[in-house]
Amino acid sequence: MHIDDLRWFVVLAETEHLTDAAALLGISQPTLSRSLRRVEDEFGVRLFEREHRGLRLNPHGRNVLAAARTSVTAVDATREQIRAEHDPDSGTIRLAFLHSVATGVVPDLLTAFRKVAPNVRFALREEPSHEIVRDLESGEAELGITGPRPDPEIFGWHLLERQRLCLYVPPGHPLAVRKRVALSEAAAEQFVALRPDFGFHRVTDDLCRDAGFIPQVAFESTDLTTIDRLVGAGLGVAILPAGAVRGTASGATGIPLSGIRARRDIGLTWRLHHPLSPTATLLQTFIRTPPP
């Protein structure tokens, strides 16, 4: 049984006349009769009483009519919703992004894009890198903003920003006057860090290991602004991307870390060999097209 069988059944039930219903639907009477037979076979009972002037719904038919109306309405509403979401001018883009770009890269990008596509809507997901990859694989997200680059055999990639990593220190800290600092100089410090399930936590662990020490973590958070404020309050130091925290008055100072690995690449990613919706393609094209 197809959804059209239910749709035709509703018309037939409302007219209670096979010829009239077929004419309204623009199909042949035998086609409508076969459709009705499929519906009755599906439910295992007769749904109409045959009369010399036409058909009359029986109690089973009235029950099926109520269910058919609900089903057809739900399917039509879902189809319209999907059509609207895929409208390149006013559809919805499912975008996942790292917590650590929520105050910088993402708002800047969306502000610029909305100037050329003001009616496009966004379904945003702020989450760790491994969850972004999972959501791209499942289709929960069409595009992701993450770093480092995921598996190039599975995901496309466009570099958005190469972020310098900084050591954030409290006001008055001896290192605050420096223009650059080696991470090894902070080996004895207490650190404020993101939780271990965040990809950036692994980045900072790798940097500390390369610098010859394991960081002493005083507190772990899920929010960069919280980390910045705790550093400003003197709880410890932190490794954060330059400019990752905006609009705070914590007093923390970010000092660029020395070394070629003291950076993080942030990029737009999507699943290869899987077509994007027209709206997501619009954003992807906007991002990948160099400004004039």
Q: Are strands 216-221 and 155-169 parallel, antiparallel or unpaired?
A: unpaired
User: Do 68 and 109 share a domain, yes or no?
Assistant: no
Quick one: pLDDT at residue 180? 94
Task: Extract the tokens encoding 223.
Answer: 């929010």
Is the pTM higher than 0.85? The answer reads: no
User: Do 230 and 218 share a domain, yes or no?
Assistant: yes
CATH number of the CATH domain containing 284: 3.40.190.10
CATH number of the CATH domain containing 18: 1.10.10.10
Quick one: pLDDT at residue 31? 92
Among residues 85, 114, 136, which one ends one of the domains?
85
Quick one: pLDDT at residue 287? 93
Q: Measured between alpha carbons, how far is 213 from 102 in angstroms, rounded to an integer? A: 30
Quick one: pLDDT at residue 84? 67
What are the pLDDT digits (tens) for 224-241?
Answer: 888 999 999 999 999 998
Domain limits at 123? 92-160+266-288
Number of structural domains in the chain = 3
User: Do 109 and 66 share a domain, yes or no?
Assistant: no
Q: Which residues in 42-77 are b (16+ Cβ under 10 Å) and which e?
A: eeeeebbeeeeeebebeeebeebbeebbeebeeeee
Task: Collect the ranges in the chain with pLDDT lower than 50.
Answer: none
Quick one: pLDDT at residue 85? 66
Quick one: pLDDT at residue 91? 81
User: Do 80 and 217 share a domain, yes or no?
Assistant: no
User: Do 204 and 148 share a domain, yes or no?
Assistant: no
Residue among 207, 222, 167 nearest 189 (CA)? 167
Among residues 46, 65, 85, which one ends one of the domains?
85
What are the pLDDT digits (tens) for 148-190?
Answer: 889 999 999 999 988 899 999 999 999 999 999 999 999 999 9
Quick one: pLDDT at residue 239? 94
Task: Extract the tokens encoding 265.
Answer: 């690449």
